[in-house]
Homo-oligomer: A and B are copies of this chain.
Amino acid sequence: MGSLAQLKQQIAREFGTPAVVIDLDRVEANINRVQALCDKAGVANRPHIKTHKIPALAALQIAAGARGITCQKIGEAEIMFDGGLEQTSILISYNLIGEARAARLAALLRRGADMAVCADNPVTLETYASAGQLAGRRVPVVIECDTGRKRAGVETAREAVQLAKAIKDNDHLSFGGFLFYPTEQSWPETQKFHDEAVAGIRDLGLVPAIVSTGGSPNLVNMGKLRGATEHRAGTYIFNDRMQMAAGVATLDDCALAVFATVVSRAGAERGIVDAGSKTLTSDVGGLDGHGLILEHPQARIKGFAEEHGFLDLAGVNDKPSVGDVVRIVPNHVCVVVNMVAQLIAVRNNEIVGVMPVAARGKLV
């Protein structure tokens, strides 16, 4: 068991700040807690790896009982497959479009990847059909359905059934099921959508192998949708201020912190840390300020330059000094991980490893 002061010194000395640090004990506790929630709700766990982008962490999730993983990009799926998850079921929950992606999807399929993909429109189906033809395998396609967030997803069960029919009628595709992302308010609406869609595809002779719900903020609602087979959540592995605000995590559940150095105290009531928008990102998520400084919870990160975080210290009694290393829980952890080449893994304030963010910046 090391001391926090020693850990800060070591990180500043060996890595420099800003550095993104994860507590593996907390990571494992988060993984186990959500796995238990899924088990209790009777749905499979298919964590979204967009939060961590690290095959070794996905492997921990699988070892704890997850039935597969979710990716957002073909590049993320490639990294996971090549990083030791070649036996794992991979769902890409994104409309993939274009011949470049079709070829890459086909390559994964030919290498034996257990893939399912997602669509809310016929153009995307063309990509998947092309991949299936190239790979000589039918590509399982789940249909993304929107139930209130007005993001991706067909808006009506009728459209979902139409897409299911197009999938069924295509020699290179197979119908995989439905993808939902209900909001806190839209579970009844989602149930209605789901029941209508399932009835519609039954008339086509289809059954949904996958009925997926999504979101870490939605963990509290898991199991509400009758018919759901699995849940995909990402952020829960680390948590952040947004998850705390959503009521699904406490500060003790936050496994990731940005270690930053106070680099300026030019004014009596203000200071600057070396984590700006190129580290913490400008994601606000409806919160006040850009992160929680654990050592100075009354301090407000009121704004950013690219490499400066501007601190309002007016309400802070024990103000930090230049050279102090502080830990910042970010607003939105998924985008922060994507900013760095590696995470520093610790247990009991001792460094136990460095984990490259292998799928960092895999935008395609």
B339 adjacent to A97 (CB under 8 Å)? no
Asked if A267 lies at the interface with its beta carbon under 8 angstroms from chain B, I say: yes
Contact partners of A124 in chain B: CB under 8 A: 263, 322
- Partner among B13, B95, B100, B283 whose Cβ is within 8 Å of the Cβ of A15: B100
B17 and A155 contact, CB distance less than 8 A: no
Copies in the complex: 2
Question: In whole angstroms, what is the CA distance A15 to B104 when docked?
Answer: 12
Q: How many residues of A contact B (CB 8 A)?
A: 63
Decide: B279 and A281 in contact? CB cutoff 8 A.
Answer: no
In whole angstroms, how far apart are the Cα atoms of A20 and B124 in the complex?
A: 23
Q: Which 6 A-B pairs have the closest CB atoms?
A: A16-B364, A282-B282, A95-B263, A123-B322, A123-B323, A16-B100
A123 to B272, CA, bound (A): 14
- The CA of A5 and the CA of B99, in the complex, are separated in Å by 16
Minimum C-beta distance from A96 to chain B (A): 8
Q: Does A338 contact B (CB under 8 A)?
A: yes
* Separation of A137 and B141 alpha carbons in the complex (Å): 64
- Contacts of A264 on B, CB cut-off 8 Å? 95, 120-121, 152-153
Q: Is A277 an interface residue (CB 8 A)?
A: yes
Whose C-beta in chain B lies nearest to the C-beta of A127? B323
Which residue in chain B gives the minimum CB-CB distance to A159? B266
Known: A12-B100, A13-B99, A278-B363. 15 other contacts (CB 8 A): A12-B98, A18-B363, A95-B322, A97-B263, A97-B322, A120-B264, A124-B322, A150-B266, A150-B270, A151-B308, A151-B310, A152-B272, A277-B281, A282-B335, A341-B361
Q: Is A267's CB under 8 angstroms from B155's CB?
A: yes
